[in-house]
Structures are given as structure tokens and as C-alpha cells.
Amino acid sequence: MGVLGDDAPADWGYSIGLWHTLRSPEVSVFGLPARTALHVVNAAGTAVRDGAPLARDQRRADVLDGREVIVRSVHSSWYRDFFGAGIDFYQRPPMPVTQLFWPDKTGRFPWDDGVDEYCRASQPLLWVPKKESDGPWTEL
């Protein structure tokens, strides 16, 4: 599912059905154009179906055109804000969700010192509980 970030800092995309069909956590990615985000989510889903499951804190280079991404688990306090269609599909939270983080042009991730501002601002750190977070993503 692609989401245009009209009132949010950026677009995002996420899967619906990986948990249902493969017992693999759903996949999300933020900060890329919606079409690109869906490409990344679909590539991750294909990798899972092909026997390469996503694991927490794993580094992967097979879902974003050879660029490394890092996998993190999403805290359930964010589910209703960003994964409503998934909740509708499953008829209840929580279904497990992962977030793929992409680096800036220098290879830094949103939590790294010196990271590009767009990379940092467009990717919420959803492993952190919402009540412990700040910034524009908490205001949606």
C-alpha cells in the first residue's frame, strides 16, 4: 500500500498480507516516493517468499537497487497512525511490522551523526514507542 504524505513529512509504503500468508512481519519504508516505496516493499516481500526472511537489525542489500537497508521492528504504538489498512485487513492489531531504513548518499542512517537532514526527517524511528518520540511524525 502506498501512502502519499500530504500532511506528513514524506510518503511511505507498506505490505499487507505477509503475516497472513507467510507468517512474516509486514514491511514498511518511509521517505521514498510512494511508487519507489512500493517497489522496495514488493522486493522485500519477494525476498521473504524466496526464503530470505527479514530479521531485526539485519542489513540487506537486496531490496533497494543494491543499496543497504537496515531492518527494525515497529513498536505497536505507531500502528494506528501509519498502518490502518493493515489493521482493517487483519481486523485487529497487532500484526508484526518491520521498518526498512535507507541511508543518505554518504551511507549514514537517520540515527547517525552527520546524516543528511532529509534522510533523518523523512524516516520516523518507529521502533521507539510513540510516547517517547518527538518531531513531526508524532503530530499526524
pLDDT tens figures, 46-74: 999 999 999 999 999 999 999 999 999 99
DSSP states of 65-112 as a string?
TTEEEEEEEPPGGGHHHH-HHHHHHHTSSPPPEEEEE---TTS--TTS
Per-residue pLDDT band at 84 (split at 50, 70, 90): confident
pLDDT at 92 (0 to 100):
72
Closest CA to 126 of 85, 86, 76, 59: 76
Separation between Cα atoms, residue 63 and residue 6, nearest integer Å: 25
pLDDT, the chain, mean:
91
**pLDDT digit string, tens, across residues 6-34:** 767 788 999 999 999 999 999 999 999 99
Rounded (5°) CA angle 27-31-35: 70
Residues counted in the chain: 140
The predicted model scores a pTM of: 0.92
pLDDT score of 32:
94
| Alpha carbons 70 and 118: distance in angstroms, whole number | 17
SS3 64: strand
Q: Is the pLDDT of residue 5 over 80?
A: no
Query: Number of C-alpha atoms within 13 angstroms, CB side, residue 127?
Result: 12
Cβ(120)–Cβ(109) under 8 Å?
no
